[in-house]
Amino acid sequence: MQEVMKKALELLQNGTVSRILGWKTGDFFYDLTPAVFESAEEVEKDFVFSPFCGANLSKYLIKESRKEGKIAVFLKPCDSYSFVQLLKEHRIIRDNVYVVGVACDGMCDIEKMKELGVKGVTAVREDGENLVCETLYGEKTVARKDALLERCVSCKSKKVVMFDEMLGENGEENPESHRFDKVAELEAMTPDERFAFWQNELSRCIRCNACRNVCPACSCEKCVFDNANSGIANKAAVTSFEEQNFHIIRAFHVASRCTDCGECSRVCPQHIPLHLLNRKFIKDINELYGEYQAGADMDTKPPLMNFTKDDCEPSIVHERGGDK
Amino acid sequence: MKKLSLSKLNELFSALSQKGELYIPADEKNGQAKFTLWQEGLSMTENLNTVRSAKDLFFPQVEQMVDFKVSGKEIEIVENRHTAEDFIIFGVRACDAKSFEILDRVFLSEPVDTFYKERRDHATVVTLACDKPEETCFCTAFGIDASNPAGDVSAWKVGEELYLRANTEKGEKLLSSLNLEDADESAVEETKAEIKKTLEKLPFGKLNLNGFDGEHLMEKFNRPEWAELSEACLGCGTCTFVCPTCQCYDVKDFDTGSGVQRYRCWDSCMYSDFTMMAHGTNRPTQKERFRQRFMHKLVYFPSNNDGIYGCVGCGRCLQKCPIHMNIVKVAKTLGEGEK
């Protein structure tokens, strides 16, 4: 924490950058807001790096890198994949960004802590492997590992894939993340069971668009679902078909560009496991086109934006039994 | 005042459901509750509140208005509006109960919104005192007493008993039709006092809203801090859709291929196409959209409605905003109170 803030101050004071993109303190320790800091005073007053810095800052750089002057950004490993993917899509002006990679032990989720029965949390402090919460009803302790965001439980990589400077030691990819386990479980269901699973999950959707708006892969200037001229613009699901339509179209659109950063599920007010739709695509792409990780490097082409003679044929759907 | 053993709650629900559809807050998923149509086997959530507010039952997210069927050159108008029958909502919290008053001011003033009125007229609201408020609750800032909620009937859990008090004629009628034991009002006094003690401790319970009124409209509107406050806003509709007092909607036509389904659905001032007009939009960036939401709740609404704010302090937006920006942070930044 101290080290990250010190770096932010140093970069401002030595003139490397004129702005810092980081996380701003809230009222309860857990309620941080992404923010741009323009002076050392602002940083000293409000800059935070804590176990509640889940928010991925990469997408803000689409706008921020187009402003005058250079901006420094702190990227956790998973955020750095989004950053590289956005660079590949020419959405961020690299020269205007100074990337500081930060090592990450996983970020925590206040909603998960509340599910564990910790209510009325007015403050949280770290104590070794535990989070000690002051609440309206006395002190409660939660093991940090039980409070981790879903995406951190099955963390795919602790490696910051692009940086100008790294704070702490860079980590490694984690092939043992088990992130496709739940997808495999869904694949093992009968089509009717699977349909029921998704219908149940998606029926809770309130079309707040938080998943889309936070998604670094959703960077269209005007989303087709907001465009009155598209014929499919919609603010609410008017039929159960449309409930599914929005999420499935979105998953298709980000397929092979989605880095599996998990922001969609983090922000969903209805706790819909949206990342599973994206992971299904990632798993299929791995199986049909060879292992591919979006945002891992600047050189490889996303399989669905590329053509090779080895690409699978549409008949694969039939060959796989049509119900995978 | 009436009472009932909490072990007989299910029997109460069963009896209530005989009088019309009964909605209770029940868990949909871990930690996520929703007002759900009661049927045998459904039990009430342990959560303080539902993710979406009780306004859903009067002002649903999607409401069919009318259908048009087209065949050749003929257009047939098909009336398909919802006709309500008497129904009961059980377990509404004090904040949501207050939100109905705010919605009434919007929908029941001339011209009356007949869709809303239809549902409102047929509902009996049973509220439930809050035994365990969250840190995000600040209903007290709006003069709401969660230890003594409004509604047609108010209820308290005290130990192993549920106490019920009728507040209106509708409530009287409901309670007298049930087979309940008589009880004394004093039985809930201790519980009320305990709740009040917790309410005293709410971190935002005394949120200072001095200066948020029509008198200071331009001063608030022109504050430079809006830029910083809205900087990280994703422009999603989470705050508006979980809010018990947000009441904006859009009327849309859905092309069925052989006609049109006209429906209305919740809209959000956070969206880029909100109140889009032929000339475009008058709120071109997220700053103006963000400002609209908070100005409406804290300045425009009270200045048009006898000083009543368009917020009930339920805290849902505090819990659900993906970037943790919210009405409390706005009020603290722009207000006269402690920063």
Query: Inter-chain contact A271–B261, Cβ cutoff 8 Å?
Result: no
Structure tokens at A309: 């003679």
Residue B144 to residue B313: CA distance in whole angstroms: 9
Query: At B273, phi and psi to the nearest 5?
Result: -105, 15
Using the Cβ of A213 and the Cβ atoms of chain B, whether some distance falls under 8 Å is answered with yes
Nearest residue, CB atoms, B32 vs list A31, A55, A270: A270
* Most A-contacting residue of B324, B332, B333, B339 (CB-CB within 10 A), to test interface: B324
Mean pLDDT (chain B, rounded): 95
pLDDT at B39 over 60: yes
Low-confidence ranges of chain A (pLDDT < 70): 1, 238-243, 322-324
Burial B161-183 (b: 16+ CB within 10 A, else e): bbbbbbbeebbeebbeeeebeeb
Nearest residue, CB atoms, B324 vs list A32, A208, A270: A32
**Nearest C-alpha neighbor of A107 from the set A179, A47, A49, A38:** A49
Coil/strand/helix, residue B35 = strand
Query: Inter-chain contact A228–B276, Cβ cutoff 8 Å?
Result: yes
This model of the complex carries an ipTM of 0.94
pLDDT for A242 equals 66
Distance from CA of B317 to the nearest CA of A (A): 10
Neighbours of A139 (CB within 10 A): 9
Instruction: List strands edge to edge, sheet with A138-143.
Output: A121-127, A130-135, A138-143
Query: Inter-chain contact A136–B133, Cβ cutoff 8 Å?
Result: yes
Distance from CA of B314 to the nearest CA of A (A): 13
Query: Inter-chain contact B31–A209, Cβ cutoff 8 Å?
Result: no
- Name residues whose C-beta falls within 8 Å of residue A139's C-beta, 6 or more positions apart in sequence: A132, A133
Range 138-197 of A in CB contact (< 8 A) with B? none
B chain contacts of residue A210, beta-carbon cutoff 8 Å: 234, 236-238, 322
Query: At A156, phi and psi to the nearest 5?
Result: -85, -25
Average pLDDT over residues B247-273: 92
Using the Cβ of A117 and the Cβ atoms of chain B, whether some distance falls under 8 Å is answered with no
**Nearest C-alpha neighbor of A73 from the set A27, A16, A25:** A16
Measured in Å, how far apart are chain B's first and last C-alpha atoms? 44
Distance from CA of B130 to the nearest CA of A (A): 13
Distance from CA of A103 to the nearest CA of B (A): 22
Q: Which long-range contacts (CB under 8 A, 24 or more apart) does B257-261 make?
A: B258/B69, B258/B70, B258/B71, B259/B67, B259/B68, B259/B69, B259/B70, B259/B75, B260/B67, B260/B68, B260/B70, B261/A238, B261/B64, B261/B67
Query: Inter-chain contact A36–B52, Cβ cutoff 8 Å?
Result: no
Using the Cβ of A63 and the Cβ atoms of chain B, whether some distance falls under 8 Å is answered with no
Measured in Å, how far apart are chain A's first and last C-alpha atoms? 45
* Most B-contacting residue of A116, A134, A239, A270 (CB-CB within 10 A), to test interface: A270
Query: Inter-chain contact A137–B132, Cβ cutoff 8 Å?
Result: yes
Using the Cβ of A33 and the Cβ atoms of chain B, whether some distance falls under 8 Å is answered with yes
Percent residues over pLDDT 90 in chain A: 84
For residue B288, the surrounding DSSP H or E stretch is helix B286-295
Query: Inter-chain contact B232–A33, Cβ cutoff 8 Å?
Result: yes
Size of interface A-B (CB pairs under 8 A): 128
Query: Inter-chain contact B265–A235, Cβ cutoff 8 Å?
Result: yes
Nearest residue, CB atoms, B242 vs list A60, A137, A269: A269
Q: Are B241 and B34 in contact (CB under 8 A)?
A: no
Q: Are B32 and B6 in contact (CB under 8 A)?
A: no
Query: Inter-chain contact B32–A271, Cβ cutoff 8 Å?
Result: yes
Nearest residue, CB atoms, A226 vs list B241, B263, B272: B272
Q: What is the Cα A313 distance to its own chain's centre?
A: 31
Q: Tell me, what amino acid is at A221?
A: E
Residue B277 to residue B281: CA distance in whole angstroms: 6
**Nearest C-alpha neighbor of A52 from the set A152, A128, A136, A141:** A152
Nearest residue, CB atoms, B238 vs list A122, A204, A208: A208
The model carries a pTM of 0.95
* Strand A165-167 relative to strand B153-158, pairing: unpaired
Q: Tell me, what amino acid is at A233?
A: A
CA angle, B228 then A222 then A233, to 5°: 115
Query: Inter-chain contact A136–B267, Cβ cutoff 8 Å?
Result: no
Q: Tell me, what amino acid is at B145?
A: D
CA angle, B64 then B67 then B69, to 5°: 160
Residue A9 to residue A20: CA distance in whole angstroms: 9
pLDDT at B112 over 90: yes
Using the Cβ of A266 and the Cβ atoms of chain B, whether some distance falls under 8 Å is answered with yes
Percent residues over pLDDT 70 in chain B: 99
Digit-coded pLDDT (tens) for B215-243? 999 999 999 999 999 999 999 999 999 99
Residue A100 to residue A12: CA distance in whole angstroms: 13
Average pLDDT over residues B300-312: 97
Using the Cβ of A123 and the Cβ atoms of chain B, whether some distance falls under 8 Å is answered with no
- Name residues whose C-beta falls within 8 Å of residue A312's C-beta, 6 or more positions apart in sequence: A288, A289
CA B243, B246, B250, B251 torsion-angle sign: positive
pLDDT for B256 equals 84
Place of tokens 């007015």: A122
pLDDT for B257 equals 86
Three-class SS string for chain A? Answer: CHHHHHHHHHHHHCCCCCEEEEEECCCCCCCCEEEEECCHHHHHHHEECCCCCCCCCCCHHHHHCCCCCCEEEEECHHHHHHHHHHHHCCCCCHHHEEEEEECCCCCECHHHHHHCCCCCEEEEEEECCEEEEEECCEEEEEEHHHCECHHHHCCCECCCCCCCEEECCCCCECCCCCCCHHHHHHHCCCHHHHHHHHHHHHCCCCCCCHHHHHCCCCCCCCCCCCCHHHCCCCCCCCCHHHHHHHHHHHHHHHCCCCCCCCHHHHHCCCCCCCHHHHHHHHHHHHHHHCCCCCCCCCCCCCHHHCCCCCCCCCCHHHHCCCCC
Residue B141 to residue B130: CA distance in whole angstroms: 16
pLDDT at B316 over 80: yes
Using the Cβ of A226 and the Cβ atoms of chain B, whether some distance falls under 8 Å is answered with yes
